[in-house]
Amino acid sequence: MPTDTCGPEVGSADVELAVALEQHLPLLLASARALMRNESDARDLVQTTCEIAARRYCDLRDRTAARSWLLTIQVHEAFRLRRRLNRAIHFGVVDPAILTGPGPSADALALRIALAKLPPRARTAIVLHYLADLPVGEVARVMRISDSTTKGHLKAGLARLREELGDD
């Protein structure tokens, strides 16, 4: 008989996790689209994030931090996948058709193309800070870097985005 080691009731952690995933799934998918090279990889990343979260949910001490915890899992998995893919595949120029999600606007497509051209750490910092709305300190914790390094990635990434997209 399966038991739930996370709480007093059998299955309570499963319900909590399901609620957290339902609440944060749009953010996970949006950030995965910005972190990965195509829609398929983004959806795979979200699925892997959910699987890892399901296995490790009992380890989460502060259940109110589920959003940050899920993003941490996703970022670490994205870096792992990117390292593995880069060993096998050399990414050249990004084809705009690869970055299109379900019906993006011209501005959204331009932003996704510009984000894809950023170095992975700058792209991740920008996605976490501006898309996921995490404060700099939390972005640093998720990426396992210092606050000043995070600020450097944000500054350099924004400068490159402004260069790509214009000063608007």
Q: What average pLDDT does range 103-113 have in this prediction?
A: 76
- pLDDT surpassing 80 at residue 115: yes
Which CA distances in Å does 66 have to 16, 17, 28, 59, 156? 10, 9, 12, 11, 29
End-to-end CA distance of the chain: 59
pLDDT score of 70 more than 60: yes
Q: What is the pLDDT of residue 145?
A: 94
Confidence of residue 92 (pLDDT cuts 50, 70, 90): very low
Q: Average pLDDT for residues 154-160, to the nearest whole number?
A: 94
Q: Is the pTM of this model over 0.85?
A: no
Give the model's pLDDT for residue 6.
58
Query: Which amino acid, 164?
Result: E
pLDDT at 74 over 80: yes
CA nearest to 62, candidates 4, 27, 16: 16
The DSSP 8-state label assigned to residue 60 in this structure reads -
Give me the pLDDT at residue 126, please.
92
**Pick among 3.40.1670.10, 1.20.140.160, 3.30.420.40, 2.40.30.10: CATH of 12-165:** 1.20.140.160
Residues 137-151 as b or e (16 or more Cβ within 10 Å = b): ebbbebbebeeeebe
